[in-house]
């Protein structure tokens, strides 16, 4: 996790996102790069053609948003004594991409050359742009996305809960998370008995895989007991005092989860700890 991408916005929860990204960067001695996440002008062209929205005013507003996002990002780094990167040398540092294109799709494409993308947890106040950027990162980058809670944790990746549902998605995020799992002091592999999952290797077999990779993981099974799978996972994470949840995202289809609800959707909406997700 040596390279961290932080799409930056000028909104209330950005501080927690930056705090969480910095915790991860300090733990992994990483480079953090920010860029301004902005709406694309093309989304408003049709409206402007009907005379309903002045595009020049929108362009100016976008430039102001970019300026504010950069100020938020760089002021945070300076206040935390994070040095600006000098070339491609390693170590804790930061940089800013000043020519990032507009639109959420850039998150998914540019994120392919980073180890992890860091975004805040979506909530009722989150803009559509933020939620679309999260989808772009998760479905288009091929990289994990770290979802940050509204309140930053004190530490990250020391006490890790890995939800095992036997799926391809969970296998993928487990592999991507190996640098963090190797650093963790405690790793619990959770199976929710009676919960959502697919046929595949058991939680005990997942533990054996991790142990053969030098990770002192332990298995844990909880009953669903009338809860949803997402509720059971978050309750277990809270009970164990975990500071990171590792979860495969959207084992069921994205559309089905958006319409009927699902484990990933519940965790995205309610997690009070950082969550590393990958599809």
Residue 154 within a domain: no
Rounded CA separation 142/159 (Å): 25
Count the domains in the chain.
2
Asked whether residue 35 is assigned to any structural domain, the reply reads: yes
Confidence of residue 126 (pLDDT cuts 50, 70, 90): low
Domain identity same for 231 and 139: no
Is 153 a member of any domain?
Answer: no
Q: Could you tell me if 212 and 254 lie in one domain?
A: yes
Let me know whether 44 and 16 are in one domain: yes
Identify the domain boundary among 103, 124, 148.
148
Q: What is the mean pLDDT of residues 190-194?
A: 95
Q: What is the pLDDT of residue 88?
A: 84
Same domain, 114 and 169: no
Residue 205 falls inside a structural domain: yes
Same domain, 105 and 172: no
pLDDT digits (tens, 9 = 90+) for 247-273: 998 865 555 445 445 888 899 999 999
DSSP 200-242: S--HHHHHHHHHHTT--EEEEEEE-TTS-HHHHHHHHHHHHT-
Q: What is the CATH number of the domain that holds 236?
A: 3.40.50.620
Q: Say if CB 17 and CB 6 are below 8 A apart.
A: yes
Give the pLDDT confidence of 15-56 residue by residue, as tens digits.
Answer: 999 999 999 999 999 999 999 998 776 555 545 555 555 655
Tell whether 24 and 136 lie within a shared domain. yes
274 within domain boundaries: yes
pTM for the full model?
0.90
Buried b (16+ CB within 10 A) or exposed e, 70-84: bebbbebbeeeebee
Higher pLDDT, 211 or 196: 211
Residues 18, 127, single domain; the answer is: yes
Looking at the structure, tell me whether residues 143 and 176 fall in a common domain: no
Q: 193: domain range?
A: 159-278
Show which of 96, 126, 148 is a domain's final residue.
148
Yes or no: say if 148 and 17 are a contact pair by the CB < 8 Å rule: yes
User: Do 3 and 112 contact (CB within 8 A), yes or no?
Assistant: no
9 with 132, same domain: the answer is yes
Of 129 and 152, the structure prediction assigns the larger pLDDT to 152
- Considering 148, 171, 189, which residue would you say is the last residue of a domain? 148
Residues 209 and 239 in one domain: yes
Judged against a pLDDT cut of 90, whether residue 161 lies above it is answered with: yes
| Residue 246 within a domain | yes
Statement to judge: residues 44 and 171 lie in one domain: no
Tell me the percentage of the chain whose pLDDT exceeds 90: 71
Q: Which of 119-133, 148-162, 224-238, 262-276 has the lowest average pLDDT?
A: 119-133
Whether 241 maps to a domain, the answer reads yes
Whether residue 218 sits in one domain with residue 141 = no
Q: Average pLDDT of the chain? A: 89
For the segment 221-231, what is each residue's pLDDT rounded down to a tens digit?
999 999 999 99
Give me the pLDDT at residue 55, please: 58
- Is residue 212 domain-resident? yes
With beta carbons less than 8 A apart as the criterion, state whether 7 and 133 touch: yes
Residue 95 binned pLDDT confidence (cut-offs 50, 70, 90): very high
């Amino acid at each position: 996790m040596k390279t961290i991408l932080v799409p930056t916005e000028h909104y209330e929860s950005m501080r927690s996102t930056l705090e969480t990204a910095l915790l991860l960067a300090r733990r992994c001695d990483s480079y953090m790069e920010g860029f301004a996440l902005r709406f694309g002008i093309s989304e408003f062209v049709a409206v402007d053609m009907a005379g309903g929205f002045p595009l020049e005013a929108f362009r100016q507003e976008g430039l102001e948003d970019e300026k504010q996002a950069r100020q938020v990002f760089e002021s945070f780094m300076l206040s935390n004594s994070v040095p600006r990167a000098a070339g491609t040398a390693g170590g804790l540092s930061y940089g800013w991409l000043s020519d990032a294109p507009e639109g959420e799709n850039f998150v998914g494409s540019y994120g392919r050359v980073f180890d992890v993308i860091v975004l805040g947890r979506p909530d009722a106040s989150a803009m559509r742009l933020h939620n679309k950027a999260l989808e772009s990162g998760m479905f288009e980058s091929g990289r994990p996305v770290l979802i940050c809670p509204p309140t930053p944790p004190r530490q990250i990746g020391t006490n890790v809960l890995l939800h095992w549902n036997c799926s391809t998605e969970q296998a993928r995020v487990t592999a991507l998370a190996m640098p963090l799992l190797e650093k963790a002091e405690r790793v619990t592999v959770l199976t929710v008995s009676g919960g959502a999952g697919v046929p595949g290797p058991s939680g005990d077999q997942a533990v054996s895989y991790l142990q053969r990779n030098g990770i002192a993981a332990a298995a844990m099974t909880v009953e669903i007991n009338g809860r949803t799978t997402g509720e059971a996972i978050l309750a277990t994470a809270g009970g164990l005092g975990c500071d990171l949840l590792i979860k495969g995202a959207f084992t069921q289809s994205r559309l089905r989860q958006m319409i009927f609800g699902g484990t990933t959707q519940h965790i995205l909406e309610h997690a009070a700890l950082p969550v590393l997700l990958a599809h």
